[in-house]
């Protein structure tokens, strides 16, 4: 089975930075466990990186994102990242590059994790489903977080209604 883990926007900016929130920090151990499982199984991993330009949205990293602390992966996730893992910068909530990559690669199963559950995780999950209509799309509730508890729960409910599998809810 061809499997993929997508960790959405788990960057300093959304965990400890100006857009950070407590729930984002709390999922780090589960995310590390999930990332290790995918690496040990020899499966593919993609990190989407929110890369808005300075004039696009206040509080987001500048255009020279590679040198920007806020843009970097957070904590132990950065330490666990392997050279074979792909990084996709995105300038909107969803990644057009991710959609195209999924169409080419034709994964059987895709799992999403990261932040923010009710924004970028939800949008990219829908993109995955559109790109791979026959693939199993899965979200582990232990590995996603939202800055608003009500919106977070609604996003998980929406993904379930879209026939995605939400584990550990």
Which pLDDT score, from 0 to 100, does residue 56 have?
43
pLDDT in tens, 74-87: 999 999 999 999 99
Percent of the chain with pLDDT over 90: 84
Which pLDDT score, from 0 to 100, does residue 70 have?
82
Which pLDDT score, from 0 to 100, does residue 113 have?
98
C-alpha to C-alpha distance for 22 and 146, rounded to whole angstroms? 9
What residues contact 25, with CB distance under 8 A and at least 6 apart? Answer: 15, 16
Which parts of the chain have pLDDT scores under 70? 52-67
What residues contact 32, with CB distance under 8 A and at least 6 apart? Answer: 76, 77, 80
What residues contact 119, with CB distance under 8 A and at least 6 apart? Answer: 93, 146
- Looking at domain 3-167, its CATH architecture is 3-Layer(aba) Sandwich (3.40)
Ordered by start, the domain boundaries in the chain are: 3-167
Q: Are 134 and 109 in contact (CB under 8 A)?
A: no
Which pLDDT score, from 0 to 100, does residue 122 have?
98
**Can you read off the two tokens belonging to residue 28?**
């780090």
Alpha helices in 5-51 (DSSP H): 12-15, 22-26, 28-40
Which pLDDT score, from 0 to 100, does residue 62 have?
46
Which pLDDT score, from 0 to 100, does residue 69 have?
79
Which pLDDT score, from 0 to 100, does residue 52 have?
65
Which pLDDT score, from 0 to 100, does residue 68 have?
83
Residues in the chain: 169
């Amino acid at each position: 089975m061809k499997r993929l883990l997508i960790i959405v926007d788990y960057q300093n900016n959304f965990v400890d930075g100006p857009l950070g929130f407590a729930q984002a920090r709390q999922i780090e151990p589960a995310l590390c466990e999930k990332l290790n499982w995918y690496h040990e199984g020899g499966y593919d991993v993609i990190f989407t990186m929110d890369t808005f330009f300075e004039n696009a949205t206040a509080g987001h990293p500048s255009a020279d994102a590679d040198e920007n602390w806020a843009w970097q992966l957070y904590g132990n996730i950065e330490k666990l990242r392997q050279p074979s893992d792909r990084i996709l910068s995105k300038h909107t909530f969803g990644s057009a590059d991710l959609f195209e990559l999924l169409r080419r690669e034709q994964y059987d199963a895709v799992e999403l994790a990261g932040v923010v559950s009710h924004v970028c995780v939800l949008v990219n999950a829908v993109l995955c489903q559109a790109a791979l209509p026959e693939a199993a799309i899965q979200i582990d509730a232990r590995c996603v977080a939202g800055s608003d508890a009500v919106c977070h729960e609604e996003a998980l409910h929406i993904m379930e209604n879209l026939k995605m599998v939400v584990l550990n809810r």
